[in-house]
């Protein structure tokens, strides 16, 4: 059985969240809200499957994305809530302030993901539309839970979310170990569940000096300008050209394999070697040739006229002489003798590039030349030909889809940040990070790099994968973009200092962005352990892009380019400023005008 990827991601999330928020209760709220949202979203996907075409791996993709963004969104809101409490607000005021700031960013980021995914409906293929709808439903439900259920739970628990006792910390660690045991199949770690129960029971006794009841004391937070993140930003800003050029060069190198991208569908030859499907596939290939697993069918309407039948026989002979064809049968008539088919077996496998070339050559050269001078019209069909047609169809629509998402994102960011430069840079950097993720995907799944580790055999990249990855990743990248840049803009508007506002904004958000990214990288990356090739591909692509975006892009390239452009980052022509709406993602509370953590 494959590892339970969801539980591996959850186990890691428990550890990271405890370190990030410093509270077991807050960690539980974050994970619980995400899981409830994912559960409701999964139910919605089941309902959707009764009225629309939904691929069999769509629920797994929905769970993967839902867990990642659900924890992400909840973490952002809870972190902002704690900042406002530290600033002196009571629980109710801090909740309102958190929703008016981080909550807006969550809605914006979630809506961006949903709209991008719904853009897949424009492709015109039912299974692509079903995949986009399934993922969009899950993200929408998780986002709704983050701004409704989570604040309600915060209101119920109040100050308790800031208190952690030793018993809670130990029990949470033991439960995380048990989850890891479930995910990896290492059953010995399941002892963590009864051990956690024992710890909680022992910690409930109010005896003197019970160490399990001791409150864990947290270190005092350093002022922003004494943190390592602030120093990192100032170091990057002191050498902006080196970091901007160096970071961009690294992204371009990682993206280079995209130039060799080949879209197509993998076949049963990519199943695990121990499966009966793979064994049958290999037996057929060994006994009858690789093309026997994906025969082509040439069909034509014809009459019993001897001249037309002879023309079809000549077509069969021409096909047999064609390079790349192992065998072409004689024309086979239906019962009414008004349609004929010729079974063509390629010399190469279904996913081989030579087979794709053969199909195009048969359609464009062999068949037209063989039937010249006749009224016959022969067509190439079969599953392999169908897959090639779908790949070509989707490849032609990818640029249109990309342009629509990029254009809409640029306009939204321009309205949010009141700038032309910032959204332009955001679009370019997001494209670079997504391109780098594509490059890694091509190297691993198409070229077969690290195949011994990942269990992946070389094959084309499924044609719907680039669009799905782009829709999801662009929305998730906007999440970090808005969270980081909104704090930079907030500091710039407050101080007018174009240099320190960058460092202050980075220092204020780096910890939560890093924690959120680390969780998503492990949640997404753990799905590489699944058996399904599309799920593996999604997992690696999402994990790679998030890791690159949250480190190389947000921590190095963004500060360096912001430093290079200075106040010009926030330039917007006056006439355009009057035309576009003013969308404030980081809300303003008139009763609390001071920035948290100052």
Question: Residue 586 falls within a domain, yes or no?
Answer: no
Strand partners, 325: 346
Pair 532, 596: CB distance under 8 Å: no
Average pLDDT rounded to a whole number, residues 127-132: 84
Q: Is residue 323 domain-shared with residue 396, that is, in the same domain?
A: no
Q: Is residue 460 domain-shared with residue 572, that is, in the same domain?
A: yes
Which tens digits make up the pLDDT trace of 54-87?
888 788 888 878 888 888 888 888 888 888 887 8
Report CA-CA distances (Å) from 356 to 385, 390, 396, 445, 582.
8, 12, 16, 18, 51
Residue predicted with more confidence, 475 or 368: 368
- Encoded tokens for 340: 């004929």
Question: Residue 285 falls within a domain, yes or no?
Answer: no
SS3 assignment for 335-373: CCCCEEEEEEEECCCCCCHHHHHHHHHHHHHHHHHHCCC
Q: What is the DSSP letter of 592?
A: B
- Neighbouring CB atoms inside 10 A of 202's CB total 15
For residues 463 and 299, what is the distance between their CA atoms, to the nearest angstrom? 26
Question: Residue 272 falls within a domain, yes or no?
Answer: no
For residues 7 and 28, what is the distance between their CA atoms, to the nearest angstrom? 15
Average pLDDT rounded to a whole number, residues 129-155: 89
- Neighbouring CB atoms inside 10 A of 222's CB total 11
H or E segment to which residue 66 belongs: helix 58-86
What proportion of the chain, given as a percentage, has pLDDT over 70?
96
H or E segment to which residue 221 belongs: none
Question: Residue 317 falls within a domain, yes or no?
Answer: yes
Report CA-CA distances (Å) from 285 to 183, 282, 288, 353.
35, 5, 6, 17
Q: Is residue 158 domain-shared with residue 169, that is, in the same domain?
A: no
Q: Domain ends where: 215, 242, 275?
A: 215
Q: Domain limits at 342?
A: 295-381
For residues 37 and 149, what is the distance between their CA atoms, to the nearest angstrom? 9
Q: Is residue 101 domain-shared with residue 209, that is, in the same domain?
A: no
- Neighbouring CB atoms inside 10 A of 400's CB total 12
- Encoded tokens for 479: 């999440």
Q: Is the four-CA dihedral 543, 544, 550, 554 of positive or negative sign? A: negative
- Encoded tokens for 146: 């983050």
For residues 153 and 23, what is the distance between their CA atoms, to the nearest angstrom? 15
- Neighbouring CB atoms inside 10 A of 128's CB total 22
- Chain centroid to CA 182: how far? 24
Q: Residue 274: left (phi > 0), alpha (psi -120 to 50), or beta?
A: alpha
The pairing of beta strand 332-333 with beta strand 378-381: unpaired
For residues 88 and 270, what is the distance between their CA atoms, to the nearest angstrom? 58
- Neighbouring CB atoms inside 10 A of 337's CB total 11
Q: Is residue 156 domain-shared with residue 194, that is, in the same domain?
A: no
Question: Residue 119 falls within a domain, yes or no?
Answer: yes
- Chain centroid to CA 253: how far? 21
Q: Is residue 130 domain-shared with residue 77, that is, in the same domain?
A: yes
Question: Residue 280 falls within a domain, yes or no?
Answer: no
User: In this predicted structure, what is the pLDDT of residue 585?
Assistant: 66
Grouping H, G, I as helix, E, B as strand and the rest as coil, residue 264 is coil
Strand partners, 592: 589
Strand partners, 52: none
User: In this predicted structure, what is the pLDDT of residue 587?
Assistant: 52
- Encoded tokens for 25: 């209760």
Q: Is residue 365 domain-shared with residue 466, that is, in the same domain?
A: no
258-263-267 Cα angle (round to 5): 130
User: In this predicted structure, what is the pLDDT of residue 188?
Assistant: 87
**Contacts for 488 with CB less than 8 Å, ≥ 6 apart:** 501, 502, 504, 505, 506, 562
pLDDT over 90 (residue 10): no
Pair 540, 393: CB distance under 8 Å: no
The pairing of beta strand 325-328 with beta strand 332-333: unpaired
CATH number at residue 558: 1.20.1640.10
Backbone angles phi, psi at 571, to 5 degrees: -80, 135
Q: How much is the pTM?
A: 0.83
CATH number at residue 352: 3.30.70.1320
Q: Is residue 399 domain-shared with residue 498, that is, in the same domain?
A: yes
Q: Is the four-CA dihedral 580, 585, 590, 594 of positive or negative sign? A: negative
* Highest mean pLDDT, choosing among 68-82, 283-297, 488-502: 283-297
Average pLDDT rounded to a whole number, residues 546-572: 86
Q: Is residue 495 domain-shared with residue 420, that is, in the same domain?
A: yes
pLDDT over 50 (residue 2): no
Q: Domain ends where: 336, 364, 381?
A: 381
Which tens digits make up the pLDDT trace of 252-266?
999 999 999 999 888
Q: Confidence class of residue 592 from pLDDT cuts 50, 70 and 90?
A: very low
Q: Is residue 254 domain-shared with residue 363, that is, in the same domain?
A: no
Which tens digits make up the pLDDT trace of 194-206?
998 998 888 888 8
SS3 assignment for 3-63: CCHHHHHHHHHHHHHHHHHCCHHHHHHHHHHHHHHHHHHHHHHHHHCCCCCCCCCHHHHHH
For residues 590 and 337, what is the distance between their CA atoms, to the nearest angstrom? 82
- Encoded tokens for 254: 């990682």
- Encoded tokens for 148: 């409704």
User: In this predicted structure, what is the pLDDT of residue 298?
Assistant: 94
H or E segment to which residue 327 belongs: strand 325-328
Grouping H, G, I as helix, E, B as strand and the rest as coil, residue 239 is coil
Grouping H, G, I as helix, E, B as strand and the rest as coil, residue 300 is strand
- Map tokens 């770690």 to a residue: 189
Backbone angles phi, psi at 341, to 5 degrees: -135, 150
Q: Is residue 249 domain-shared with residue 393, that is, in the same domain?
A: yes
Q: Is residue 230 domain-shared with residue 210, that is, in the same domain?
A: no
- Neighbouring CB atoms inside 10 A of 68's CB total 29
- Please, what is the average pLDDT of the chain? 85
The lowest-confidence range among 215-224, 383-392, 539-548 is 215-224
To 10 degrees, the CA torsion angle through 343, 348, 354, 359?
10
Which tens digits make up the pLDDT trace of 25-58?
888 888 888 889 999 998 998 898 888 888 887 8
Average pLDDT rounded to a whole number, residues 429-434: 86
Question: Residue 279 falls within a domain, yes or no?
Answer: no
The lowest-confidence range among 37-51, 461-475, 486-500 is 486-500
DSSP codes joined into one string, 96-159: HHHIIIIIHHHHHHHHHHHHHHHGGGGG--HHHHHHHHHHHHHHHHHHHHHHTHHHHHHHHHGG
Q: Residue 208: left (phi > 0), alpha (psi -120 to 50), or beta?
A: beta
Backbone Cα Rg of the chain: 28
SS3 assignment for 506-523: HHHHHHHHHHHHHHHHHH
- The count of domains in the chain is 3
- Encoded tokens for 26: 């807050």
Question: Residue 469 falls within a domain, yes or no?
Answer: yes
For residues 361 and 562, what is the distance between their CA atoms, to the nearest angstrom? 52
Q: Domain ends where: 381, 408, 423?
A: 381
């Amino acid at each position: 059985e494959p590892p339970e990827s969801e539980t591996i991601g959850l186990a890691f999330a428990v550890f990271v969240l405890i370190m990030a928020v410093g509270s077991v209760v807050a960690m539980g709220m974050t994970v619980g809200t995400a899981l409830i949202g994912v559960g409701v979203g999964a139910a919605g996907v089941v309902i959707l499957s009764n009225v629309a075409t939904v691929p069999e791996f769509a629920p797994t993709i929905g769970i993967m994305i839902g867990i990642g963004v659900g924890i992400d969104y909840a973490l952002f809101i809870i972190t902002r809530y704690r900042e406002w409490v530290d600033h002196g607000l009571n629980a109710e005021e801090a909740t309102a302030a958190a929703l008016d700031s981080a909550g807006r960013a969550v809605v914006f980021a979630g809506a961006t993901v949903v709209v991008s995914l719904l853009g897949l409906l424009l492709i015109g293929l039912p299974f692509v539309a079903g995949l986009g709808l399934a993922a969009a439903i899950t993200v929408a439900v998780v986002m709704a839970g983050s701004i409704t259920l989570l604040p309600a739970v915060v209101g119920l628990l109040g100050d308790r979310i800031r208190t952690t006792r030793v018993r809670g910390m130990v029990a949470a660690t033991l439960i995380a170990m048990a989850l890891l045991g479930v995910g990896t199949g290492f059953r010995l770690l399941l002892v963590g569940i009864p051990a956690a129960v024992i710890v909680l029971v022992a910690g409930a006794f109010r005896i003197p000096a019970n160490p399990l009841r001791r409150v864990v004391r947290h270190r005092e937070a350093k002022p922003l300008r004494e943190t390592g993140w602030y120093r990192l930003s100032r170091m990057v800003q002191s050498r902006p050209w080196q970091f901007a050029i160096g970071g961009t060069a690294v992204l371009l190198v990682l993206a280079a394999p995209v130039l060799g991208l080949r879209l197509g569908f993998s076949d049963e030859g990519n199943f695990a070697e121990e499966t009966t499907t793979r064994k049958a596939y290999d037996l057929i290939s060994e006994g009858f040739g690789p093309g026997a697993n994906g025969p082509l069918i040439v069909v034509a309407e014809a009459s019993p006229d001897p001249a037309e039948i002879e023309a079809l026989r000549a077509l069969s002979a021409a096909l047999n002489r064609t390079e790349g064809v192992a065998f072409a049968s004689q024309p086979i008539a239906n019962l009414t003798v008004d349609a004929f088919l010729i079974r063509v077996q390629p010399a190469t496998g279904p996913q081989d590039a030579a087979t794709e070339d053969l199909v195009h050559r048969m359609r464009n050269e062999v068949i037209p030349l063989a039937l010249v001078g006749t009224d016959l019209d022969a067509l190439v069909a079969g599953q392999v030909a169908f897959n090639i047609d779908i790949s070509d169809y989707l490849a032609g629509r990818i640029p249109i889809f990309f342009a629509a998402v990029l254009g809409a994102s640029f306009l939204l960011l321009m309205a949010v940040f009141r700038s032309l430069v910032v959204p332009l840079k955001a679009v370019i950097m997001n494209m670079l990070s997504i391109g780098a993720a594509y490059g890694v995907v091509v190297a691993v799944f198409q070229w077969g790099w690290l195949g011994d580790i990942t269990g992946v055999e070389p094959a084309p990249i499924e044609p719907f994968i680039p669009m799905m990855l782009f829709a999801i990743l662009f929305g998730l990248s906007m999440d970090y973009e808005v969270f980081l840049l909104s704090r930079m803009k907030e500091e710039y508007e407050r101080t007018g200092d174009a240099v320190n506002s960058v460092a202050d904004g980075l220092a204020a958000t780096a910890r939560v962005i890093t924690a959120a990214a680390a969780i998503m990288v492990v949640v997404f990356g753990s799905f590489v352990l699944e058996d399904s090739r599309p799920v593996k591909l999604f997992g690696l692509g999402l994990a790679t892009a998030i890791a690159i975006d949250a480190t190389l892009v947000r921590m190095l390239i963004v500060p360096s380019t912001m430093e290079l452009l200075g106040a010009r980052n926030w330039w917007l022509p006056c006439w355009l400023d009057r035309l576009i709406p003013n969308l404030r993602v980081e809300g303003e509370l008139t009763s609390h005008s001071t920035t948290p953590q100052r």
